[in-house]
């Protein structure tokens, strides 16, 4: 039991993302599509995919509409992003 507790503690210490979710704050400078935005943090653009959103791609039906709707809601707005995980798209 002590070994299991020690192993769990060691994994938690070596994986800070398990303890504290990383955050970034900035302004939305670009809407790339219906589920991807760009946030400017400290003069550096950061690509952010919105979690649990599966919007159509730009060339798919309603893709352009989806992008325009997201842009009307969030473009130019200050945001705080909490990282959940990074995938192959950002």
Task: Return the residue matching tokens 């970034």.
Answer: 24
Identify each DSSP E strand in 1-90 by its residue range.
23-33, 36-41, 44-49, 78-82
Q: 59-90, pLDDT tens digit by residue?
A: 999 999 999 999 999 999 999 999 887 766 65
Structure tokens at 38: 């760009």
* 21-82 CATH: 2.40.50.90
pLDDT at 82: 92
For the chain, the maximum distance between any two Cα atoms, rounded to a whole number of angstroms, is 56
- 3: helix, strand or coil: helix
Q: 22-72, pLDDT tens digit by residue?
A: 899 999 999 999 999 999 999 999 999 998 888 998 899 999 999 999 999
pLDDT at 85: 76
Kindly report the number of other CB atoms within 10 A of residue 16's CB atom. Answer: 10
Task: Return the residue matching tokens 């989806």.
Answer: 66
């Amino acid at each position: 039991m002590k070994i299991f507790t020690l192993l769990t503690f060691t994994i938690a210490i070596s994986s800070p993302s398990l303890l504290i979710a990383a955050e970034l704050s900035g302004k939305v400078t670009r809407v790339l599509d219906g589920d991807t935005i760009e946030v400017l943090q400290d003069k550096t653009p950061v690509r952010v995919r919105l979690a649990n959103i599966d919007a159509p791609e730009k060339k798919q039906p309603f893709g352009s509409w989806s992008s325009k709707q997201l842009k009307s809601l969030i473009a130019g707005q200050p945001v705080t992003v909490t990282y959940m995980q990074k995938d192959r798209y950002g």
